[in-house]
Amino acid sequence: MKDIPLANHGKFQDPVLTASGDQRATVALSDPQTLWFNTGTLCNIECANCYIMSSPTNDALVYITTDEVREYLDQLEARKWNVREIAFTGGEPFMNPQMIGITEAALERGYEVLILTNAMLPMMRKKMREGLLHLHAAYPDKLTLRISVDHYRRDLHDAERGKGAFDKTVTGMQWLRDNGFTMAVAGRSVFEHTDADSRAGYAAFYAEHNFNIDAYNPGMTVLFPEMDEAVEVPEITTACWGILDKSPDAVMCASSRMVVKRRGAEKPTVLACTLLPYAPEFELGETLAEAERDVALNHPHCAKFCVLGGASCSA
């Protein structure tokens, strides 16, 4: 049985039925829009609440290569998925030495590209800056960098990411600003502000630094609900769609998949969800064809983050 925290004891065990015996909700890949790649779990920092446990020593997911990315882009074309966006997350993507080549592999096929980054020292290395400038010139308006700014206040951001992190991230954002890159921001709701207060705070932060980011557009300033597995959440049944007046098509696994490469594995594998890289039941197979099957919402994150929280990792 899965190791489920006490608050949800007895729940999220059976992919077909909930603990109360009701039919568990499933989600079909109805409109694939984004294909995610995890570039590797290594990161230059270790955050207090990293859902993927990235750190300078965690290589549970190893660096994916440009050739491996190209193989999945070939599969996208063969399967005729209606994907418009290729997105990269980590770890810190710019730790991956092939990050520029990986990004160009997606851009040269005509996709929009989203890179999640902390905009700190790995991105600011000379080789990466030169590569980004080349990509920006060659593929204008196709590349967006979503910067992790946990809070618009230095002290609260650094409480999550370590002393000095805020200033290093702002320096990276200023470089991106000065060179005309499109930026977005990923924030956190761990601080228990209202959505309106958070967005007002980010708006003031952007204005102070002349960052061209819309604080009130949820696709440009994404405020993620916390993924605390110790909090009790309801299981999502088939009846919930009507009760909540929500379509399964609005849930993230209806429109995206993520490719990862596990340490020691011969090949990458495809996951149902960007948020559950270590949950084996959300591993769908090595190919996109295998990954077209329905996903059972059999994890607390499915309920709290996606269905009830209404969040999505895509732009």
Enter the pTM of the model: 0.93
Burial (0-12, 13-18, 19+ Cβ within 10 Å), 27? buried
Q: Of 116, 83, 143, give the one whose Cα is nearest residue 224.
A: 116
Cα 44 from Cα 295, distance rounded (Å): 33
- Over its length of 315 residues, how does the chain's per-residue pLDDT go in tens digits? 455 555 677 899 999 999 999 999 999 999 999 999 999 999 999 988 887 889 999 999 999 999 999 999 999 999 999 999 999 999 999 999 999 999 999 999 999 999 999 999 999 999 999 999 999 999 999 999 999 999 999 999 999 999 999 999 999 999 999 999 999 999 987 666 788 999 999 999 999 999 999 999 999 999 987 666 667 888 999 999 999 899 999 999 999 999 999 999 999 999 999 989 998 899 999 999 999 999 999 988 888 888 887 555 554
Which domains, and CATH codes, for the chain?
Answer: 6-308 (3.20.20.70)
Cα 238 from Cα 22, distance rounded (Å): 8
